[in-house]
Structure 1
Amino acid sequence: MSATTQRAAMFVGLAAGAAGLVAVLARERAGSSIKDLTPRGESGTHIAAARAFNRSSALLALSVLTDSGIEHYRGSFANKAMFTPLITSALSLAAGLHGAADSGSRRHRARHAIYLGAGAAGIAGTGFHLYNVLKRPGGWSWNNLFYAAPIGAPMALLLSGALGAVAERLRDEPAVEPQLLGMAAGRALGLLAAAGLIGTVGEVALMHFRGSYQNPVMYAPVTIVPVASALLAHAALAAPREHWVARAWLRITAALGFVGMGFHARGIARNQGGWRNWTQNILNGPPLPAPPSFSALALAGLAALRLRETEK
């Protein structure tokens, strides 16, 4: 593969990362404007957070839809259940886009049902993937963890459903001091996003370990993302105040997801035939749709921080 093609792939990826960072900053600025114009605890802040979680759910669903579509196509859809994540993630994507445009203060029953279905499909998919690992010769081994069905992949669908479901639940809460799971909504949402970041980075750590961390950049997600999760969890558990370090780190994490696509595109371009042979290399190269899952959860974390700052 020529160096020119590799540079072009990197340029496209970095351009996507820059565009993603601009979008993150623009969204954050919009969210800050809402917070500044909305008196403390008054109606509007929790609806803005709910819509942000709908957007995050949609981005995660898009990642699952494209990634599972590629991986299950490679598996020739040998089991008809392999169509399930495609259907549920497509529905979750549609629900997320619809919820992002909805400023209503009541949950949408159809969206909520779709999100619950996506969560259930994620749990079932984890069971199927675990079975796929254990039934192979050697059972629970590094080789099977590396090359059997990825155990962590269906959890992204579960997270998409969870983010959307809490967004719908948040809409039903009163405007003043909304509660989720028996705690302040900002705190609950922050802890959920922090847990999602840790769960997502676990699968990445396994796959990059399989790749022997041959490129030092492969350490970025396994170092940046855990710090973002820890800062977000601390901000959620601490007294409500401005957490500018957590906010800045979450922005970096959001941009990392888009930049990661660039490096994965470069990895595909380095295979024999490069992008001219994309029908083969996109199946064998690093998963192109996976990195934006970090962006989705980081955006959810930013929304949780904005809500947390309005709480008493």
Structure 2
Amino acid sequence: MPKPVPEPSRRPLIAVGLGGIAAAGLIGAAAWKLWRRAEPADPGKAAERGLRAGAAILSLAVLLDSGIEHYRGEFKNPAMFVAPTLALATLGMTAVEDEAAPYVFSAALAVGAAGVGFHSYNIGKRAGGFDMLNLFYAAPLGAPAALSLAGLFGLAAEHPGIAAPARIAPVAALALLGTAAEAGLLHFRGAFQNPFMFAPVTLPPLAAAVTAASSVSPEAAQVARPLLLGTALLGIAGPIFHSYGIHRNMGGWHNWSQMILQGPPLPAPPAFLGIALAALGLLPALERRG
């Protein structure tokens, strides 16, 4: 009778997990110290800074993610060039004061929405339609929404009088829920084989709920801060975990040109960081309400 195959040790996963958390914590602590040191006294300026930072990180994530994914798709449709090109333009507009910025941000908002439509069409035309297999392996349904979100945050930073923090907070909360749902779908595809894969589907929804409540409750805004900081750390730790996931694929980083295309996606987790920074920028104004 053959001997049973022993279960693989979880020690490497635990070691990488703890190391990733420690590294993300150190990076996050240093970044938070710099962020707090330069925080404006005016809550309106703090909101504008947070929204611009969020738009910049989301734009960079879209630039890299759409570039990699559309390259894997060989840019078969010329429209596949639009998302990375516009993400680059949006990233540039977050760093400067320019009259063209509102137009670029508006274009990002519209193109991201159109991208969701294109990806929905891509899934729907396949055999089986919107079944789990196609949701797992076809064009990612919610990914283009990150470009729309970058454009929306950019527009909110350009028009603080119209886009009040109390109006943007529910949008940031909804964005966290959508990003957590997409992470949950892909981590479900990966069978949650690493226990740390549960983190993006637990902490961000909690942060989303409290962030939404902060639009009407200053007390909720105070509770939201540590949850949003934790969500931001997920955005930093995620690429570390995904780097380890690439390492575990056949060929690992020695076969980097193929494995980066295979995944897990390196640029995806920073979306949590971008949304969290935008929401954190809103909190000083929300805490002073009432």
TM-score normalised to the size of structure 2?
A: 0.89
User: What is the DSSP-based 3-state SS (H/G/I as helix, E as strand, rest coil) of the residue aligned with 1:77?
Assistant: coil
1:112 corresponds to 2:90: no
Does the CA contact (< 8 Å) of 2:221 and 2:286 recur in 1?
Answer: no
Q: Which has the higher contact order (CA 8 A, sep 6+)?
A: 1
Compared CA separation, residues 244 and 310, structure 1 to 2 (3 A)? closer
Q: Which residue of 1 aligns with 2:111?
A: 121
1:225 pairs with one of 201, 204, 224: 204
1:237 corresponds to 2:216: yes
Q: Which residue of 2 aligns with 1:151?
A: 141
Structure 1: gaps of 5 or more residues? 36-43, 100-107, 174-178
1:263 pairs with one of 238, 241, 246: 241
* Equivalent AA in structure 1 for residue 250 of structure 2: Q
Compared CA separation, residues 290 and 21, structure 1 to 2 (3 A)? farther
Structure 1 stretches of 4+ with a deviation exceeding 4 A read: 6-14
Does the CA contact (< 8 Å) of 2:213 and 2:221 recur in 1?
Answer: no
CA-to-aligned-CA distance 1:159-192 (integer Å, 9 cap, x gap): 111111111111xx3xxxxx53xxxx22112112
1:78 pairs with one of 66, 71, 76: 76
* Equivalent AA in structure 2 for residue 219 of structure 1: F
Q: Which stretch of the first structure deviates more once superposed, 242-251 or 270-279?
A: 242-251
Counting only pairs closer than 5 Å after superposition, residues 135-284 of structure 1 correspond to structure 2 as 135-170=125-160, 173=161, 179-180=162-163, 185-238=164-217, 240-241=218-219, 243-284=221-262
Does the CA contact (< 8 Å) of 1:13 and 1:261 recur in 2?
Answer: no
2:124 pairs with one of 113, 118, 134: 134
User: What is the DSSP-based 3-state SS (H/G/I as helix, E as strand, rest coil) of the residue aligned with 2:81?
Assistant: helix
CA-to-aligned-CA distance 1:175-227 (integer Å, 9 cap, x gap): xxxx53xxxx2211211211111111111111111111111111000000000
Give, in whole Å, the separation in 1 of the partners of 2:157 and 2:193.
39
Compared CA separation, residues 254 and 49, structure 1 to 2 (3 A)? same
User: What is the DSSP-based 3-state SS (H/G/I as helix, E as strand, rest coil) of the residue aligned with 1:109?
Assistant: coil
* Equivalent AA in structure 1 for residue 74 of structure 2: S
* Equivalent AA in structure 2 for residue 285 of structure 1: G
Q: Which stretch of the first structure deviates more once superposed, 194-203 or 142-151?
A: 194-203
Does the CA contact (< 8 Å) of 1:54 and 1:164 recur in 2?
Answer: yes
TM-score normalised to the size of structure 1?
A: 0.83
* Equivalent AA in structure 1 for residue 93 of structure 2: A
Give, in whole Å, the separation in 2 of the partners of 1:194 and 1:29.
26
Q: Which residue of 2 aligns with 1:89?
A: 87
* Equivalent AA in structure 2 for residue 194 of structure 1: A
Q: 1:156: Cα distance to partner?
A: 0.6
Give, in whole Å, the separation in 2 of the partners of 1:196 and 1:69.
22
* Equivalent AA in structure 2 for residue 251 of structure 1: L
Does the CA contact (< 8 Å) of 1:10 and 1:263 recur in 2?
Answer: no
Q: Which stretch of the first structure deviates more once superposed, 77-86 or 9-18?
A: 9-18
How many residue pairs were aligned?
279
Counting only pairs closer than 5 Å after superposition, residues 32-51 of structure 1 correspond to structure 2 as 34-35=40-41, 44-51=42-49
Q: Which stretch of the first structure deviates more once superposed, 9-18 or 270-279?
A: 9-18
Does the CA contact (< 8 Å) of 1:57 and 1:296 recur in 2?
Answer: yes
Does the CA contact (< 8 Å) of 1:24 and 1:254 recur in 2?
Answer: no
Q: Which residue of 2 aligns with 1:27?
A: 35
Compared CA separation, residues 89 and 82, structure 1 to 2 (3 A)? same
Structure 2: gaps of 5 or more residues? 1-10
2:58 pairs with one of 57, 60, 74: 60
Give, in whole Å, the separation in 2 of the partners of 1:114 and 1:199.
24
Does the CA contact (< 8 Å) of 2:49 and 2:281 recur in 1?
Answer: no
Give, in whole Å, the separation in 1 of the partners of 2:274 and 2:68.
20
CA-to-aligned-CA distance 1:238-268 (integer Å, 9 cap, x gap): 1x35843211111111011111111000000
